[in-house]
Amino acid sequence: MLIQDILAAKRDGQTLDSAMIREFVMAIASDQVGDEQIGAFTMAVYLRDMNLDETVALTEATRDSGHVLDYRALDLPGPVLDKHSTGGVGDPVSLVLGPWLAACGAHVPMISGRGLGHTGGTLDKLEAIPGYNVTPDHATFERLLRDTGVTIIGQSGNLAPADKRLYAVRDVTATVASLPLIVASILGKKLAENLDALVMDVKIGNGAFLANDDETRQLAMTIAEVARRAGTPTTALLTDMNQCLANSAGNAVEVRECLDIMTGKRRGGRLLELTRTLAVEALVAGRLAEGADEARRRLDHALDSGRVAERFAGMVAGLGGPSDLLDNPERYLAEAPVVRDVYAAHDGIVAAQDVKSLGMAVVALGGGRRRASDSIDHRVGLDSIATLGSRVDRHTPLARIHAANAEDAERVAEQLADCFTIGESAEVPPLVHDLLQ
């Protein structure tokens, strides 16, 4: 079929069959269509939408447009599991979840991304660890996956290559915000990992990828349904992003917080609670536990016994980082030269956080990117971020700034005060809004 005929069909509001969609996606991957044709396609989909069958076909074709991981030669003794998040602020769940699942018998080939805009990226956080290589050769990837059970790395060129072109064109043609295109983009890449089960952490709230809560809920439902129909059992959780998840936001500061959790120095808190909740779902879906109670017992035992920290340490060393990171984090995680607390104008209770602006404050410090080509400063960020419902006063700050210099700290301190609403009381949203299977 001519590419123009496929474009005309979608332009005129017709339903595309899976053969047409596959033909178009394969033509993208093999460079047989131009960017103008991709742009016409994404605009037609944006305006005319796609039904569930079309979205499944687009997802499967994106997944199959390049290399789909194959573990048969590795003879892995446990299931291959992963988690993916739509992105948040102060959200380093992957750093703890990957080794935690590995410590419970799973294999986690977690292919992650970088931060862009207000959200942070797992690869940027890991690159705060000197020597950590996010692009290892395939033999190293396989060895770590088999022996350590977890490898958190970047996307290789041939994984879902059609998405790379599609996303680049969407970005410059105002067609990012289309549900079927978002679902196929996220899942096309994730399902190329050839997973036994996937847990999706879909963020909802003022710091979420989609600003509208109804659209976010629709995204979570569609992801769970499309992934299941494409052959990967998937649970989607709608989790709260009306406040930062961790107590810190940045790169080295978030790694430090994760190390404290894995080594038992820090207990409790929203980051640990959500990571455990996602891990429970993954263990049950991967049949490593009969139900939630057993999963929780296994997880707590793995954390308390130090096996989670061991798996993380094994992954870091295996990817070129220091072998004694967990014993000597201060030796390796660079500190920002300026550290400064920011206080509220008056005492009270934190009633709201503007999470997107908090994320942009980290970007303003140099800890995130405005453009994909920007480099970042791993030292900078925020910690001691006051949670919703907590009291702030002249002894308890809204947050602590880690900055490269006094001018940046001064500028961001002014911005930061506006990111918090201080009142007499707070309604704290639940950590998990919903679970969709």
Residues with a catalytic annotation lie at 82-85, 122, 170, 185, 189-190
Between 182 and 336, whose beta carbon lies closer to ligand URA? Answer: 182
Asked if 186 touches ligand URA (CB under 6 A), the answer is yes
Among residues 384, 422, 47, 99, the alpha carbon closest in space to that of 247 is found at 384
Nearest distance from residue 188's CB to ligand URA, in Å?
Answer: 9
Query: Tell me, what amino acid is at 94?
Result: S
Nearest distance from residue 186's CB to ligand URA, in Å?
Answer: 5
Between 37 and 185, whose beta carbon lies closer to ligand URA? Answer: 185
Query: Tell me, what amino acid is at 109?
Result: P
Asked if 85 touches ligand URA (CB under 6 A), the answer is no
**Which region among 149-157, 178-186, 241-249, 354-362 touches ligand URA (by CB under 6 A)?**
178-186
Separation CA 24–CA 64 (nearest Å): 12
Between 79 and 115, whose beta carbon lies closer to ligand URA? Answer: 115
Place of tokens 């039904």: 51
Nearest distance from residue 54's CB to ligand URA, in Å?
Answer: 16
Check residue 364 and give left, alpha or beta (phi > 0: left; psi -120 to 50: alpha).
alpha
The sheet carrying 399-403 orders its strands as 249-250, 381-383, 399-403, 338-342
Nearest distance from residue 227's CB to ligand URA, in Å?
Answer: 14
**Which region among 6-14, 98-106, 182-190, 287-295 touches ligand URA (by CB under 6 A)?**
182-190
* Residue 355: both structure tokens together: 């999470």
Between 186 and 289, whose beta carbon lies closer to ligand URA? Answer: 186
**Which region among 180-188, 350-358, 387-395, 423-431 touches ligand URA (by CB under 6 A)?**
180-188
Between 179 and 252, whose beta carbon lies closer to ligand URA? Answer: 179
* Alpha-helix runs per DSSP H in 127-238: 138-147, 161-172, 179-191, 213-229
For strands 81-85 and 197-204, give the pairing. parallel
Question: What Cα–Cα distance (Å) separates residue 324 from each residue in 102, 131, 146?
Answer: 20, 13, 22
CB count within 10 Å of CB 68 equals 14
Between 203 and 311, whose beta carbon lies closer to ligand URA? Answer: 203
**Which region among 17-25, 179-187, 228-236, 258-266 touches ligand URA (by CB under 6 A)?**
179-187
Separation CA 437–CA 435 (nearest Å): 7
Asked if 241 touches ligand URA (CB under 6 A), the answer is no
Selected from 16, 104, 182, 283, the binder of ligand URA by CB under 6 A is 182
What does the DSSP assignment read for 103-131? HTT-BB--B----BTTB--HHHHHTTSTT
Separation CA 386–CA 392 (nearest Å): 7
Nearest distance from residue 114's CB to ligand URA, in Å?
Answer: 11
Asked if 7 touches ligand URA (CB under 6 A), the answer is no
Asked if 185 touches ligand URA (CB under 6 A), the answer is yes
Among residues 92, 434, 106, 148, the alpha carbon closest in space to that of 275 is found at 92
Separation CA 344–CA 175 (nearest Å): 40
Nearest distance from residue 224's CB to ligand URA, in Å?
Answer: 16
Binding site for ligand URA (CB under 6 A): 167, 176, 182, 185-186
